[in-house]
């Protein structure tokens, strides 16, 4: 029986995808539920799996654009795949058959070289054994001598090696490599250019003392792992801080829709994740109503899905605010680009120990520069600066995340 494999729908708004790569060759015999191809949309890279076992026949080439629902391959179920155990044994046998041939090619050359080397001069048996033990050649030991002994080998062992021995010289090349841009990267490129041309983007900066959050992680990390089963990172703190700060400065969470300004009553935070196919931004929805452990787990799961191409378009759609962390790559300071139609993005950076003034004293603290890029068309300077200051306050005083961003003393005194 011939089974048709069609392109699944990645999302409601997507009508066309691109065949990114075939994971199996045309005519190969595949197993049921085996991944056979990767398809790329302008939002994500998804995989197609074999619904049945059998011999596959490609109906579309790599790089070809096909409509959602189109047949990309067929599977002939009358051809059964070999059992896994037999396939593994056949593969191991093929490796064993290939190995002796390689040895036959290499061994004679080595023997000839060694015999020719020792035929040039007279070498004692003791010297030969020492040279073999320490990996020395005749050229390493002598220069114009006609007889090698124990003393000559010992002298060569103590001689310093040349720089070329430790640092191999790179061969000069003028070669180039070319690869086709993926659909995801082409769409990302167009969006980034449109942001620069269509928004009044500005960036404001601040710095955060990370010692309070770092001390908290150090103190409670093991207990956190024991209870929740995963590590506590920094991103969950910033996600929660952003969600709380948006309640004080809602315009940072707003968007322009034609002639109207849309101000969501929720905070859906996009977390920028770098993948081999390009940048993806999975969404943590309703971050304002979630705890730090809930946010941390969701970030971990979404990032893993994005990197393994298991993420859905729905998990990448929407979002009212974005956080990007260039610090994981060593960035000290940058100006992040807004993710449209959002109006602002927070950039985290590397944590560096720097001297700072604390209560009139110069102390060393782990500091992080943070940057907020925003669309000045709807976000005023007061809101942008105030938002970033509020995030700084909550990261430096994490307990304020439990008091909705307010000072505990003010709440206690009712002021």
Any catalytic annotation for residue 215? no
- CA dist 186 → 42, 106, 159 (Å): 8, 47, 57
Among 33, 42, 380, 407, the one annotated catalytic? 380
* C-alpha to C-alpha distances, 221 to 31, 150, 231, nearest whole angstrom: 43, 60, 7
Compute the C-alpha angle 76/59/15, nearest 5°: 120
Nearest to 298 by CA among 261, 338, 270, 334: 270
User: Which pairing describes strands 260-262 and 54-58: parallel, antiparallel, or unpaired?
Assistant: unpaired
User: CA angle 18-20-23, nearest 5°?
Assistant: 135
Active site (annotated) includes residue 376: yes
**Which sign does the torsion angle of CA 27, 32, 37, 40 carry?**
positive
For 348, the enclosing helix (H) or strand (E) is strand 344-348
- Of 348, 347, 344, 385, the residue nearest 367 (C-alpha): 348
363, containing H or E segment: strand 361-375
CB atoms within 10 A of CB 272: 20
Annotated active-site residue in 249, 268, 376, 383 = 376
Cα–Cα nearest to 131, from 120, 146, 142: 142
Contact status, residue 396 vs residue 365, Cβ threshold 8 Å: no
Q: What stretch of H or E contains 54?
A: strand 54-58
Computed on alpha carbons and rounded to an integer, the radius of gyration of the chain in Å comes to 31
82: left (phi over 0), alpha (psi -120 to 50) or beta: beta
**Burial (CB count <10 Å: 0-12, 13-18, 19+), residue 319:** buried
**Tokens encoding 305:** 């899905």
Structure tokens at 204: 């404001």
What pairs with residue 56 in β-bridges?
75
**Nearest 10 degrees: Cα torsion 68, 73, 79, 84:** -70
What are the catalytic residues? 376, 380
């Amino acid at each position: 029986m011939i089974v048709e494999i069609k392109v699944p729908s990645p999302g409601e708004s997507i009508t066309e995808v691109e065949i990114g790569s075939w994971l199996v060759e045309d005519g190969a015999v595949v197993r049921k539920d085996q991944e056979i191809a990767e398809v790329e949309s302008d939002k994500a890279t998804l995989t197609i799996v074999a619904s049945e076992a059998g011999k596959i026949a490609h109906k579309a080439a790599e790089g070809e654009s096909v409509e959602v629902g189109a047949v990309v391959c067929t599977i002939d179920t009358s051809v059964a795949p070999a059992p896994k155990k037999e396939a593994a044994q056949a593969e191991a046998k093929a490796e064993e058959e290939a190995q002796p041939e390689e040895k036959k090619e290499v061994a004679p050359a080595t023997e000839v070289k060694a015999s020719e080397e020792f035929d040039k001069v007279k070498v004692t048996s003791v010297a030969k054994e020492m040279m073999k033990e320490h990996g020395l050649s005749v050229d390493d030991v002598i220069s114009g001598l006609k007889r090698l002994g124990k003393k000559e080998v010992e002298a060569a062992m103590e001689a310093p090696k040349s720089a070329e021995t430790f640092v191999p010289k790179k061969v000069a090349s003028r070669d180039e490599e070319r690869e086709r841009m993926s659909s995801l990267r082409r769409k990302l490129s167009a969006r980034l250019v449109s942001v620069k041309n269509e928004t009044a983007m500005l960036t404001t900066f601040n710095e955060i003392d990370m010692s309070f959050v770092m001390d908290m992680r150090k103190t409670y990390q093991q207990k956190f792992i024991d209870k929740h089963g995963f590590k506590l990172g920094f991103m969950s703190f910033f996600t929660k801080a952003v969600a709380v700060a948006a309640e004080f400065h809602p315009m940072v969470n707003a968007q322009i829709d034609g002639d109207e300004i849309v101000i969501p009553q929720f905070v859906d935070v996009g977390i920028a994740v770098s993948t081999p196919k390009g940048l993806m931004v999975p969404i943590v929805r309703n971050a304002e109503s979630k705890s730090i452990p809930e946010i941390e787990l969701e970030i971990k799961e979404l990032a893993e899905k994005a990197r393994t191409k298991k993420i859905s378009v729905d998990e990448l759609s929407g979002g009212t605010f974005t956080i990007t962390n260039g610090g994981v790559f060593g960035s000290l300071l940058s100006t992040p680009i807004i993710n449209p139609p959002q109006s602002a993005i927070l950039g985290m950076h590397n944590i560096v120990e720097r001297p700072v003034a604390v209560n009139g004293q110069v102390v060393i603290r782990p500091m992080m520069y943070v940057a907020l890029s925003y669309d000045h068309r709807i976000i005023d300077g007061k809101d942008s600066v105030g938002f970033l200051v509020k995030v700084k306050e909550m990261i430096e005083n994490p307990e304020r995340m439990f008091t909705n961003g307010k000072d505990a003393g003010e709440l206690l005194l009712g002021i």
